[in-house]
């Protein structure tokens, strides 16, 4: 099969790209290499493979000849989205609309990477896909808006689209601004770690390999919207303790105020994904944390 992966040099995208190549598929890899974090880290992710540099919000977009598009490109970071909403609109709504329109025109199925941030403090746990979203950040608003765009183009232009709401993905190649990479690097260097909130906030942590398996299954079997989440709901304080045990050291924690747009809890109902996609997360939190810790030790500089 011939697939397109947008955001192919990023955290999840680079893992997905590798998995597709290992399965014998052809992959057209697209990435903008924005300055959200050091582009050199993305270069490390791709390991020398060729990436087509494209700005999906303004460059010509065509998927003619492709069998499917995995749209993982976007502007991440709920807390940072409060400072530059127009950028998030451009990268997460404008770019998505152009991807969806091109896919509808070319008759190509799309799997779209949305986010658990669309739920916000929804108050229903574990949260099913039909819960009413109440996003807490501009980032969550843009991801929800992109979902609505996809649904509109599905009805009006026949877009074949599946939407995945990823929950707190972690593992090797996780972005440097994300909690587990910051925890592991602080432990490996002895530097302090800024803990936003009191550490009691819990997440349905999802190991990256499991997220990739769900993403491919969605291309093959999905319809509608799916939660993609690991089976372990763990507090941030317990996550810190796990990494401390792996490191054999204590983390120098500096308490900070809760980050804006940060929900107190995320917990996913994955019944729909299990039934439709035949998918369930297989990696324990402990095994995933160990893999991420070992990656940080191998790549620190």
> Under a CB-based contact definition with an 8 Å cutoff, are residues 207 and 281 in contact?
yes
Number of residues that this document lists for the chain: 301
Q: Tokens representing 217? A: 């299954």
Euclidean distance between CA atoms 202 and 108, whole angstroms: 37
Ramachandran assignment for 94, one of left (phi > 0), alpha (psi -120 to 50 degrees), beta (any other) = alpha
Euclidean distance between CA atoms 192 and 299, whole angstroms: 19
Helices 179-189 and 236-247 cross at an angle (nearest 10°) of: 30
Euclidean distance between CA atoms 10 and 31, whole angstroms: 8
> Under a CB-based contact definition with an 8 Å cutoff, are residues 176 and 38 in contact?
yes
Q: Any catalytic annotation for residue 196?
A: no
Cβ-in-10-Å burial (0-12, 13-18, 19+) of 130 comes to exposed
Euclidean distance between CA atoms 35 and 38, whole angstroms: 6
Euclidean distance between CA atoms 293 and 147, whole angstroms: 34
Euclidean distance between CA atoms 157 and 147, whole angstroms: 15
Taking Cα atoms as reference points, which of 283, 198, 203, 288 lies closest to residue 243? Answer: 288
Number of H helices, E strands in the chain: 10, 12
Catalytic residue among 139, 166, 207, 226: 139
Residues with a catalytic annotation lie at: 139
């Amino acid at each position: 099969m011939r697939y397109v992966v947008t955001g192919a040099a990023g955290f999840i995208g680079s893992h997905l790209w590798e998995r597709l190549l290992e399965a014998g598929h052809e992959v057209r890899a697209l990435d903008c290499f924005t300055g959200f974090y050091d582009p050199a880290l993305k270069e490390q992710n791709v390991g020398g493979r060729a990436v087509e540099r494209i700005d999906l919000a303004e460059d010509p977009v065509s998927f003619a000849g492709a069998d499917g598009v995995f749209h993982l490109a976007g502007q991440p970071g709920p807390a940072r989205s409060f400072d530059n909403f127009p950028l998030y609109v451009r990268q997460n709504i404008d770019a998505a609309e152009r991807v969806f329109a091109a896919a509808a025109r070319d008759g190509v199925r799309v799997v779209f990477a949305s986010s658990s941030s669309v739920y916000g403090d929804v108050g229903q746990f574990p949260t099913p896909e039909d819960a009413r979203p109440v996003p807490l950040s501009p980032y969550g608003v843009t991801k929800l808006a992109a979902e609505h765009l996809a649904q509109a183009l599905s009805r009006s232009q026949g877009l074949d689209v599946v939407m995945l709401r990823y929950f707190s993905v972690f593992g090797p190649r996780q972005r440097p601004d994300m909690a587990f990479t910051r925890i592991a690097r602080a432990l490996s260097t002895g530097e302090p770690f800024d803990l936003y909130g009191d550490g009691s906030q819990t997440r349905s942590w999802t190991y990256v390999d499991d997220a990739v398996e769900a993403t491919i299954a969605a291309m093959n079997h999905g319809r509608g919207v799916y939660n993609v989440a690991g089976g372990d709901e763990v507090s941030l304080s317990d996550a810190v303790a796990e990494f401390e045990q792996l490191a054999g050291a204590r983390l120098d924690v500096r308490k900070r105020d809760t980050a804006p747009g940060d929900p107190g809890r995320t917990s996913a109902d994955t019944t729909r994904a299990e039934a439709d996609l035949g998918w369930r997360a297989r990696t324990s939190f402990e095994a995933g944390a160990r893999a991420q810790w070992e990656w940080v030790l191998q790549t620190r500089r």
